[in-house]
Amino acid sequence: MNYQPQNPVVVQADRSILLETNNPRFEEARDALAQFAELIKSPEHFHTYRITPLSLWNAASAGMTKDQIIQSLLDFSKYEVPQNIIQDIKDYVSRYGRLKLFKKEDSDLHLLYSEDEALILELAHNKVMEPFIEARVDGHNLLIKKGTRGRLKQTLIKIGFPVEDLAGYVEGEPLDIELLEQTRLGAPFRLRIYQKDAVDVFYAGGTSRGGSGVLVLPCGAGKTIIGIGVMSRLRQHTLILCTNITALRQWRDEIIDKTSISGAQIGEYSGEIKNIKPVTITTYQILTYRRKKDEDFVHMNLFNLQSWGLIIYDEVHLLPAPVFRAVAEIQGKRRLGLTATLVREDGKEDDVFSLIGPKKFDVPWKVLEKQGWIAKALCTEIRIPLPEPDRLKYAVADSKAKFRIASENPAKIDVVKELIDNHQEHNILIIGQYLDQLDILARRFAAPIITGKTPNKEREKIYNEFKSGALKRLIVSKVANFAIDLPDANVAIQVSGTFGSRQEEAQRLGRILRPKAEGNYAFFYSLVTKGSKDQEFAANRQLFLTEQGYRYRIIMIDDKESLEEKLKAE
């Protein structure tokens, strides 16, 4: 057996991988594994990854070969890599692209093609394929029924054969749009190198190999700018889907500021306004609105109201399940997904892969941090005991109530006070899940609070005051998780979170990662009740920090030493 004790990785026959954190090659191995394996858990000494078919297909779609993946494991493994793992990698990576979807010449039908005649024969006799096959043309081609392109791709990935869609796209209405060399506000403007690379990878020279897929970049890396860059390259009518009205208006402002098109060419399709223009921006909420649960979605026909040449899905990991059904019907349109993480809490990553497109571009957070494009984050979890009266309530509560009692631990308020005192010169966001808790914090620290009920005009006024420096502290509920541009925020204090949501952690950390005018450090504090459901779920949220290469420190609160002393000691 080939034993290399200096290496940090143990590859196991069940496709799990253990990564030793206390090893000089830890960071190098972590960055390599992140390209083709999923992080499962990340306690102090060993992180656990798992190789899955989807993780391998995403790696293959981003350009990795089976030999590169296998070589990475061989380079970092302490022990001999199990032969079944090497064979699995060869098998699964080779499946990507074995099936290709083409447009039938002089027709609006499609052909499913493979060089492997046995595979075509197998699919032709598979019952799950019956709804999609019009006829078997020859040993290499199946004629696909009209209007089933999206659902076919969903089915194929579920039976283990992701199809490479080369059927091309219907051209949208032309749009005269150029990137400006100077913003409307007078600042010099051009795409950063990695932003240009992302646009180039998605566009792929205008061939059928480009035009659909997901670009994965950190919050603060300028995903909106990349979307605008793609728009300027394609120059066609564009529909943009985003998470909320604030994000919608930020997209609008960025497009007006950095491109040649005017505000009159941009339509807002929201609960307040329903204008359809060459560039139309809407929200997932309006698309999934229906008057009653058993009725149709009122606004889903927006996908077909214009000759869109491009549809952009901002924060694609939050794409609601009902929208997938609409996306399946519009596979002829170019589709761009933007996200900081491919993780979905509902497990529908394979639907994103098959319907929006595979991962085409991925830049690790730590890479951009080293280059100075995003701030360096110092992540700290502070574990706080539950006061004795609340411990009694906690002991007899059910699981859901336990989580809320622990999340609203009143002892967290004094810790927030110490952190505010420790960061008096900084711009602080206090983020939480429960409104009662946030109201208490707002009164205690005389800070404005933004929740889902805050009117949009008031939200924008408060955000602008925070950006200008007139406000140094701001309290926000879950509405601040997504697409809020607060470039000067450099401290985030998370007092409560959702049940272990990695995607939420991504967004909350992202709120403070924009590069800073003075110094380039950001501080992310997560306040957790020690030994509780709160701490259990926080462990899952920490997976995101580990995925992105951040080490987080853990501080235990007791009565013997002040928090300030502990922070200095750390």
Q: What CA–CA distance (Å, rounded) separates 140 from 112?
A: 8
Q: Does 336 lie in the same domain as 234?
A: yes
pLDDT band of residue 436 (cuts 50, 70, 90) is: very high
Averaged pLDDT for residues 241-247: 86
CATH number at residue 104: 3.30.70
The encoded tokens of residue 334 equal 């170019």
pLDDT of residue 371: 84
Q: Which one, of 385, 429, 375, lies nearest residue 406 by Cα?
A: 385
* Residue 160 is assigned to a structural domain of this protein: yes
Q: Which one, of 47, 42, 52, lies nearest residue 76 by Cα?
A: 47
Q: In terms of pLDDT, which residue wins out, 527 or 376?
A: 527
pLDDT of residue 344: 78
The SS3 call for residue 507 is helix
* Residue 350 is assigned to a structural domain of this protein: yes
Q: What CA–CA distance (Å, rounded) separates 406 from 494?
A: 14
Tokens 């979807």 -> residue: 101
pLDDT of residue 483: 46
pLDDT band of residue 15 (cuts 50, 70, 90) is: very high
Q: Give the tens place of pLDDT for each residue, 268-312.
A: 999 889 999 999 999 998 988 888 887 888 888 889 888 999 999
Averaged pLDDT for residues 118-124: 95
pLDDT of residue 207: 87
Q: Does 198 lie in the same domain as 146?
A: no
- DSSP alpha helices (H): ranges in 310-398? 321-328, 349-351, 365-370, 388-396
Q: Give the tens place of pLDDT for each residue, 471-530.
A: 889 998 876 554 455 556 788 898 987 655 555 555 666 666 665 555 567 888 989 999
| Secondary structure in 3-state letters for 116-182 | CHHHHHHHHCCHHHCCCEEEECCCCEEEECCCCHHHHHHHHHHCCCCEEECCCCCCCCECCCCECCE
* Residue 550 is assigned to a structural domain of this protein: yes
- DSSP alpha helices (H): ranges in 423-547? 435-445, 456-468, 502-510, 533-547
| Secondary structure in 3-state letters for 91-126 | HHHHHCCCEEEEECCCCCCEEEECCCHHHHHHHHCC
| Secondary structure in 3-state letters for 249-268 | HHHHHHHHHHECCCHHHEEE
Q: Does 272 lie in the same domain as 396?
A: no
Averaged pLDDT for residues 140-162: 93
Kind plus residue range of the DSSP H or E element containing 38:
strand 38-41
Contact 447, 493 (CB under 8 A): no
CATH number at residue 252: 3.40.50.300
Q: Which one, of 515, 503, 519, lies nearest residue 243 by Cα?
A: 503
Q: Does 459 lie in the same domain as 415?
A: yes
pLDDT of residue 425: 85
pLDDT of residue 447: 92
Q: In terms of pLDDT, which residue wins out, 471 or 564?
A: 471
Q: Does 386 lie in the same domain as 266?
A: no
The residue out of 363, 391, 418 marking a domain boundary is 363
Averaged pLDDT for residues 25-39: 89
Averaged pLDDT for residues 126-135: 94
* Residue 511 is assigned to a structural domain of this protein: yes
pLDDT of residue 33: 92
* Residue 258 is assigned to a structural domain of this protein: yes
φ/ψ region of 44 (left if φ > 0, alpha if ψ in -120 to 50, else beta) reads: alpha
Chain-wide mean pLDDT for the chain? 87
In whole angstroms, what separates CA 217 from the centre of its chain? 8
What are the distances in angstroms from CA 166 to CA 66, 100, 209?
A: 22, 7, 6
pTM recorded for the entire structure: 0.81
Q: What CA–CA distance (Å, rounded) separates 242 from 359?
A: 19
Contact 515, 409 (CB under 8 A): no
- Percent of the chain whose predicted confidence (pLDDT) is above 90: 52
Q: What CA–CA distance (Å, rounded) separates 91 from 77?
A: 21
Residues spanned by the domain of 111:
99-165
pLDDT of residue 503: 55
Domains held by the chain: number:
4
In the predicted model, is pLDDT for residue 433 greater than 90? no
Task: Establish how many alpha carbons lie within 13 A of residue 295's alpha carbon, considering only the half-sphere containing its beta carbon.
Answer: 8
pLDDT of residue 419: 93
In the predicted model, is pLDDT for residue 435 greater than 60? yes
Q: Does 120 lie in the same domain as 91?
A: no
Q: In terms of pLDDT, which residue wins out, 122 or 568?
A: 122
Q: Does 521 lie in the same domain as 396?
A: yes
Q: Does 80 lie in the same domain as 117?
A: no
Q: Does 90 lie in the same domain as 108?
A: no
* Residue 178 is assigned to a structural domain of this protein: no
In whole angstroms, what separates CA 80 from the centre of its chain? 34
pLDDT of residue 161: 93
Averaged pLDDT for residues 140-167: 93
Q: Does 356 lie in the same domain as 317?
A: yes
pLDDT of residue 485: 55
Q: What CA–CA distance (Å, rounded) separates 76 from 25?
A: 8
Q: Give the tens place of pLDDT for each residue, 177-236.
A: 999 999 888 889 999 999 999 999 999 998 888 999 999 887 778 899 999 999 999 999
End-to-end Cα spacing for the chain: 41
* Residue 214 is assigned to a structural domain of this protein: yes
The encoded tokens of residue 239 equal 């529909």
Task: Say which amino acid occupies 16.
Answer: S
In the predicted model, is pLDDT for residue 558 greater than 50? yes
- DSSP alpha helices (H): ranges in 387-428? 388-396, 399-407, 411-422
The residue out of 95, 118, 145 marking a domain boundary is 95
- DSSP alpha helices (H): ranges in 381-492? 388-396, 399-407, 411-422, 435-445, 456-468
Averaged pLDDT for residues 434-438: 91
In whole angstroms, what separates CA 470 from the centre of its chain? 31
Averaged pLDDT for residues 405-421: 93
Q: What CA–CA distance (Å, rounded) separates 141 from 336?
A: 28
Q: In terms of pLDDT, which residue wins out, 554 or 274?
A: 274
* Residue 174 is assigned to a structural domain of this protein: no
Q: Does 507 lie in the same domain as 467?
A: yes
The residue out of 95, 118, 152 marking a domain boundary is 95
Q: Does 381 lie in the same domain as 339?
A: no
What are the distances in angstroms from CA 114 to CA 118, 164, 527?
A: 9, 11, 54
